[in-house]
Chain A
Amino acid sequence: MALNRRDFLKVAAAAGAAGAVDTASALQREPKTLPPNAVGMLYDATQCIGCKACVAACKEANHMPPEHDADKSELMWDVPLDLSGKTLNIIKVYQDGNVAQKDREINGYSFVKRHCLHCVDPSCVSACPVSAMTKDPKTGIVEHHKDRCIGCRYCVYACPFAVPKFEYDGPFGQIQKCQFCAHLQAKGQLPACCDVCPTGASLFGLVEDLKKEAQIRLAKKPGESHRFARGKLGGNRPVQEGTIANYQKHLYGEKELGGTQILYLSAVPFEKIGLPTNVPEYGYPAITEGIQHTLYKGMLPPLALLAGLVYLVHRTAGKPDESEETPRKTKAKKEKS
C-alpha cells in the first residue's frame, strides 16, 4: 500500500500545521485597486454649515420616509439620530466643552456627514453570499440589489463604517444604504446631496481629481484664501470664495482600509467625528479572502482531503454490511462483560 493510515494522518497534520503558520503570517490576497473612472465625493467638514439640506434632498431623491423622535412630539420634523433603514445620509455633530468655535477640537465643534464611503475593497461585497452587494467596475459605486438579498445582515455586521442598515420594523424589510444616487447619475445628474449642498462641503467628482483638490487645500496655510468648487469639481457653478481652515494634515479615505471613494477633510481629529483611524491600509476582505483562497485553492485541498477520507473510511467500514455497523476492530476487541 502506497500510503497507510499513519502516513496520511501525519501528512494531514503537517499540512494543517503549515497552513496554521502561513495563516498567522497574514496571507493576504492582492489589494483591490480604484477603478480608473471611479466617482466619489470630497466632504470638507470645515465647509459644512450643518444646514442638513443634503439630508432632506437625500430622502426626497431616494423616497425615504421621515423619522420621528420616540414620543412623536415633533411630527413636523424629520429627526433621525443615526443612519437607519429610513435614513441613508445624516449630518452629525462633534461637540466639546463650551462649543465656542467651529472646527476646533477643544471647546469647539464640527459637523460630519455620514453615509456609505464606497470602499475600494468593500467588506459588504466580500461578505454577501448572493452578490446582493456589488461594486460597479467602472464607477466603483457599491450598490445593493434587494431582489436577491436573503436578509442575513452579514453586510451590517461586517461593514467597518456601520453603513448598511436593515428595516426590522416590518415583515418584509430590506437592507438600506447610500448608493451614491446611481439612479440620478445614470441620467447625468449629480448625487442629491452634492447637488443641493450650498457651500460645496459635499463635492462630487472623479476620485483622482478630488484627491488632487484635497492636496491643494492641505498644502495651503490656514487663513489663506481658496476658491471652493460647488456641486461638481470642474463643473460650471460659481465657486465660493473662502479661507483655508486649520486642517488635520491628512486626507481620510486615501489609504484607510484599502481606500474609499468618499474622502474626508476635517479640522478635528477624524476619530472624534466617528471615522475609525486605528485601521490597516488594506481592506479586511484581503485577509478573509486570503485565508479562504488558501484553504480552498480551486477546491483542490478539500477534494484531496475527501479522497484521503474516502480511502480511510472505506478501509474501516467499506465492506458491505459492515459499514456503519461494525468496523473491523470491534470484533477483535470483544467487550468484556
Chain B
Amino acid sequence: MSAHEPLGGRILTKPFLAFSALAAIALVILLARFVFGLGAVTHINDGYPWGIWIVIDVMIGTAFGCAGYAIALLVYVLNRGEYHPLVRPAMMAGLFGYTLAGAAVIVDLGRYWQVYTLLLPWYAQFNSVMLEVAWCVMAYIVVLAIEFSPAFLERFGLTDARQKLSKVLFIFIAVGILLPTMHQSSLGTLLVVLGFQLSPLWQTQLLPVLFLVTALLMGFAIVPFEAILASRGFRRPIETRILGKVSGVTALLLAGYLVVRFADLIVRGQLGAAFAANLDAGMFWLENALFVLALVLLARPAYRTNPRMMFVAATVLLVAGSIYRINAYLIGYHPAGGGWNYFPSVTEILVTVGMFSIEILLYLLFVKQLPVLPRGERVTAVQ
C-alpha cells in the first residue's frame, strides 16, 4: 500500500499550455544555436565563456535539485523517519533539476558531438574538477531515476519488480547521498583555479564547503517551497508540522553557514573588500542580507506554523543561494586582461526560462499521473 497517490485531473490546463509555449520558444532558439552556433543566440564571449546557461541552469538548477539529497540525508542518515512523506516529491525535484541541468550542459558545450570523450578512460584527466563533476552528475541522474522509479512501478502495477527493487534500494539511497556531497562541493572547487580573477569576497579555499552547505540549504528550502505551492495550486492539505521542523533544521544549518562565511573572510583579512564602493561589495551585501533575512524568518518559532511565512522564508533562502552562485561565477569574476562585459541576451534568457518551464511541465504531469505527493488524509491538515 503506497503512502502516495496521483492527483489525477486534467493535464491540459491553462498554466500547462502557457509553460508549453515557453518551452516551445526555447526549443526554437536552441535549434538556431545548433545551426548558427553559440554566438548567434548568446552573449557569452572570450572574457565570459560561461553565461547563464551554466550559472543558472546548472549551478542554480542542481542546487534546487538538492531537495532529494537534503531530505534523504534527514530521513535516512539522521533517521528522522517523520519526514518521510517528503521523500518522493523531493526525489522528483532532484530528478528534474539534474536532468535539465544535464541537458543545459549539452546545449552549452561548444563541441557537444564529442561529449562521449568524457567517458573514455584514456582521455580522463583525473586532476580536473570538471571531470569529477561530470561523472558524479551523470551517475547521480541515474541514481535519482532509480530512487524515483518506485513511483512508476506502483503506477503500472509492477509489484514484483517493486519488491525486488526494495531489497537493494538502500544501496542507491546511500550512493544518492554520496554523489551530491562530492559534486556540489566540487562546483565550488571549480572556481579555486580562477585565482586572482575571482574577487577575494568569494575566492577562498573553503569554496567547496560553502557550495556544499548552500546546496543543502537550497535543497531544504525547495521542500516547503514546492509543498506549499502544490497545496495552494491543487487545494490539498499542507504538511505544516513536518515542514515547520524542516525549517528548524534549515535555520540551524544556515546559522552555521553564516558563521563560517564571515569567519573565513575575517581570517583571510578580506572583510575590507566588502566596504569598497563597487558592484562586488553591493552584491556581497545583497547576498548576505538575504541569507540573514532567511535566518531571521526561519528562526522564529511562530512562523513555523504559518505556511505563508514558511513559503516566504524558503523563497528568500532560494534567492540568496542563487545570488551567491551568480556572484561567485559572474559578478565577482573579473576576467584576466579586462575589457570584457557580459549580460545575457534575450534569446539566452528565454532558453533558461524554457528550461525551468519544462521542469514545471514535468512536475504537473508527474504529480497528476504518478503516486508522488503524500496521501492527503494521512498528513496533518492545516486549519
Distance in Å from the Cβ of A335 to the closest Cβ of chain B?
6
Interface SS, B side: helix
Give the chain A neighbours of B110 by CB distance below 8 A: 149-153, 166-168, 173-175
CB-CB contacts below 8 Å: B192-239 with A: 192-197, 205-206, 208-209
Q: Mark A17-54, 1 if CB is under 8 A from B, else 0.
A: 00010011010000000000000000000000000000
Q: Are B132 and A292 in contact (CB under 8 A)?
A: yes
Q: Are A336 and B380 in contact (CB under 8 A)?
A: yes
Is B279 among interface residues, defined by CB-CB distance under 8 A? no
Is B382 among interface residues, defined by CB-CB distance under 8 A? no
Is B170 among interface residues, defined by CB-CB distance under 8 A? yes
Known A153-B49, A276-B196, A284-B193; contact A168-B39, beta-carbon cutoff 8 A: yes
Question: Which bucket holds chain B's interface residue count?
Answer: 35 or more
Q: Are A159 and B336 in contact (CB under 8 A)?
A: yes
Interface SS, A side: loop
Q: Are A151 and B111 in contact (CB under 8 A)?
A: yes
Is A329 among interface residues, defined by CB-CB distance under 8 A? yes
Is A313 among interface residues, defined by CB-CB distance under 8 A? yes
Q: Are A150 and B117 in contact (CB under 8 A)?
A: yes
Give the chain A neighbours of B40 by CB distance below 8 A: 169
Is A248 among interface residues, defined by CB-CB distance under 8 A? no
Give the chain B neighbours of A306 by CB distance below 8 A: 174-175, 178
Give the chain B neighbours of A321 by CB distance below 8 A: 163, 166
Q: Are A330 and B208 in contact (CB under 8 A)?
A: no
Among A131, A278, A309: residue with most chain B CB under 10 A? A309
For the complex, give the distance between the alpha carbons of A231 and B112 in Å.
41
Q: Are A171 and B35 in contact (CB under 8 A)?
A: yes
Question: Which bucket holds chain A's interface residue count?
Answer: 35 or more
For the complex, give the distance between the alpha carbons of A254 and B226 in Å.
55
Q: Are A285 and B46 in contact (CB under 8 A)?
A: no
Is B84 among interface residues, defined by CB-CB distance under 8 A? yes
For the complex, give the distance between the alpha carbons of A260 and B40 in Å.
35
For the complex, give the distance between the alpha carbons of A318 and B169 in Å.
8
For the complex, give the distance between the alpha carbons of A175 and B111 in Å.
10
Stretch of A121-129, A185-193, A214-222 on the interface side? A121-129
Distance in Å from the Cβ of B267 to the closest Cβ of chain A?
7
Give the chain B neighbours of A314 by CB distance below 8 A: 170, 174
Is A297 among interface residues, defined by CB-CB distance under 8 A? no
For the complex, give the distance between the alpha carbons of A161 and B125 in Å.
22
Q: Are A320 and B167 in contact (CB under 8 A)?
A: yes
Q: Which of B87, B109, B189, B336 contacts A162 (CB 8 A)?
A: B336
Q: Are A302 and B173 in contact (CB under 8 A)?
A: no
What residue in chain A is nearest B133 (Cβ atoms)?
A: A129
Known A161-B336, A310-B170; contact A324-B178, beta-carbon cutoff 8 A: no
Known A23-B206, A285-B127; contact A316-B189, beta-carbon cutoff 8 A: no
Q: Which 10 A-B pairs have the closest CB atoms?
A: A151-B110, A168-B39, A151-B111, A327-B81, A329-B81, A162-B337, A129-B131, A153-B49, A309-B174, A156-B49
